Chain A
Amino acid sequence: MALEDICSFKDTPGKWFSASSLEGTFSSFRTTDYNSFGLRRREKCETTRGAPLHFFIPNTAPFNHRPFPPANQSVKVRRPFPLSHGTTTLGFIFQGGVIAAADTRASAGGLVACPAVHKITPIHSHLVVTSSGSGADCMLWERILTREIRLYQLRYRRRLSILGTAKLLSFMLHPFKGTDVCVALTLCGWDKEAGNADCENRSQASSFLTGDSSSSAVSTQGVTAMTCSASPIGGPKLIYVCSDGARLQGDVISVGSGSPYAYGILDSGLKWSLSKEESISLARQAVFRATHRDAYSGNNVDLFHITAQGWKQRQREDLKEEYYRDLERRDRKQ
């Protein structure tokens, strides 16, 4: 198919077969092998051999929103089930760092394809990423991101900031917007403070140029006292990046079909001043409640805690423990 690529021959097999039904009109198609089929049809098309011109249909790419991906993909694979973010992942920032939590169920339509999946993946010592959407896409893009971050570190001898990582990922995903790539990642990490005057000028200059006051908007909101350490340089960071192109920095982010349920628990129970144990228990509660109501989330819960010293993973816990704890709590209350 190399010649096909050079000729930018954008055609689908479907068209080839329907063309053969017009055999009477065009000259006979004697197709020997698949490779030359395209080229041969092209020749025939150019001449038409006396057939009426309106049978010669040039191939124009359909231009509704975003049609086809790169030209060398000739067949689109039909999906066996509609894609949705069947998961519950969440992350939040508190005084003791960042907590990232997720369930472990991979669903394929109504089937539990795998009950023990890792939805939280470390990228480097101070960054983990929670994934939601298509499992294969997320796995691939996490590897691509890890590679790019490592390359950056080797080339420039410093680690790319989390905001920079998010921007890089967002720009890498942009060409695939409108295709079936379905990736919704939350980057949870801790930026090392580079802490010198150079950095201060840089942060001032960058916010001047970009007018990107999302980080400073976080710090000017007096709604909660969550914003103390969410400074432009250094400290805990939580950024949501999606294959649609969205890139949002925040203090509480939950993604997936179970996210509305998780938000319910997080919004009511979350305070900046929580201790580490309280916040871990809150995260676990939130995932549990979401998996209780959402069919596409369940099985176990993974928890990561990220601080200035790096990430620490808690042992994976089956959610039925949380269920029995909840039952006990109810019995005791009664």
Chain B
Amino acid sequence: MEYLVGIQGKDFVLVAADNVAASSIIQMKHDYDKMFKLSEKILLLCVGEAGDTVQFAEYIQKNVQLYKMRNGYELSPAAAANFTRKNLADYLRSRTPYHVNLLLAGYDDTDGPGLFYMDYLSSLAKAPFAAHGYGAFLTLSILDRYYKPDLTREEAVDLLKKCIEELNKRFIMNLPSFTVRLIDKEGIHDLEKLTHGAK
């Protein structure tokens, strides 16, 4: 029901998430933000079971901030991703596993942009583009077909729009709007929300 997507370009990462917070058949919120800012240049996108998402994401967020306070410098995106994965793995075989699917997107000053795909079984993969949710079945082929490693920002946004058009056309659930953010060496930028026709 929820949808996350990330596209990595040459020197940026573009991420988008839908804005619906649902409870059984009711949309309780139309403007819910599923992205959590871990640091100046790292975003964590988190979907999954109702309470687990916020609990887990905020836990990771606070721990990343704590690392910065203790050590004076920030965790790199790769380090943050591995830290997140380790926590998921530790909880997986406990009595209280977290059922969350994540995308971690960040910009490292030395390594450049990075997009990390993690799922609830605590697998981790660095990927040039990734998606979560039922919408992924519809959009991964579009990403496969049109993705190039040296996408410009405009091309990436167009690719994202293609994906969202496909969702609006074929996905059974109505996802009226998407939050879009871009991470580059300057930090995290909010782009215009992508909405579908009427509010």
Residue in B closest to A242 when the chains form the complex, CB atoms:
B50
Q: Is B169 an interface residue (CB 8 A)?
A: no
A250 to B28, CA, bound (A): 8
Q: By DSSP majority rule, is chain B's interface helix, strand, loop, or mixed?
A: mixed
- Which chain A residues numbered 186 to 239 have a C-beta less than 8 Å away from chain B? 208-214, 217-218, 221, 223
A228 to B28, CA, bound (A): 20
Pick from A59-67, A291-299, A310-318 the stretch touching chain B.
A59-67
Interface size class of B (residues with CB under 8 A): 20 to 34
The answer to whether B96 touches A66 (Cβ under 8 A) is yes
> Of B35, B65, B199, which one neighbours A209 at CB under 8 angstroms?
B65
- Which 8 pairs, one residue from A and one from B, show the smallest C-beta to C-beta distance? A245-B51, A211-B37, A246-B50, A244-B50, A217-B31, A213-B33, A223-B199, A221-B31
A210 to B52, CA, bound (A): 16
Q: Is B26 an interface residue (CB 8 A)?
A: yes
Number of interface residues of A (CB under 8 A): 32
What 0/1 readout, one digit per residue, does chain B (29-65) give for beta carbons within 8 Å of chain A?
Answer: 1111101111000010000011110110010010001
Distance between A226 CB and nearest chain B CB, rounded to angstroms: 11
Residue in A closest to B40 when the chains form the complex, CB atoms:
A208
> Of B55, B65, B95, which one neighbours A66 at CB under 8 angstroms?
B95
Chain B residues in the interface with A (C-beta under 8 A): 21, 23, 25-26, 28-33, 35-38, 43, 49-52, 54-55, 58, 61, 65, 93, 95-97, 199
Task: Chain A residues near B33: list those with CB within 8 A.
Answer: 212-214, 217
A174 to B65, CA, bound (A): 23
Task: Chain A residues near B38: list those with CB within 8 A.
Answer: 211
Task: Chain B residues near A250: list those with CB within 8 A.
Answer: 28-29
Task: Chain B residues near A248: list those with CB within 8 A.
Answer: 21, 28-29, 32
A308 to B35, CA, bound (A): 32
A242 to B33, CA, bound (A): 18
> Of A212, A223, A260, which one neighbours B26 at CB under 8 angstroms?
A260
The answer to whether A210 touches B54 (Cβ under 8 A) is no
Task: Chain B residues near A244: list those with CB within 8 A.
Answer: 49-51
The answer to whether A260 touches B25 (Cβ under 8 A) is yes
Task: Chain B residues near A178: list those with CB within 8 A.
Answer: 96
> Of B21, B37, B43, B50, which one neighbours A245 at CB under 8 angstroms?
B50
A65-B97, A208-B37 given. 7 additional CB < 8 A pairs?
A61-B95, A177-B51, A210-B37, A213-B33, A221-B30, A244-B51, A246-B21
The answer to whether A177 touches B96 (Cβ under 8 A) is yes
The answer to whether A174 touches B58 (Cβ under 8 A) is no
The answer to whether B26 touches A246 (Cβ under 8 A) is no
Task: Chain B residues near A240: list those with CB within 8 A.
Answer: 28
Distance between A75 CB and nearest chain B CB, rounded to angstroms: 19
Distance between B48 CB and nearest chain A CB, rounded to angstroms: 11
The answer to whether B35 touches A211 (Cβ under 8 A) is yes
Q: Is A300 an interface residue (CB 8 A)?
A: no
The answer to whether B54 touches A245 (Cβ under 8 A) is yes
Distance between A187 CB and nearest chain B CB, rounded to angstroms: 14
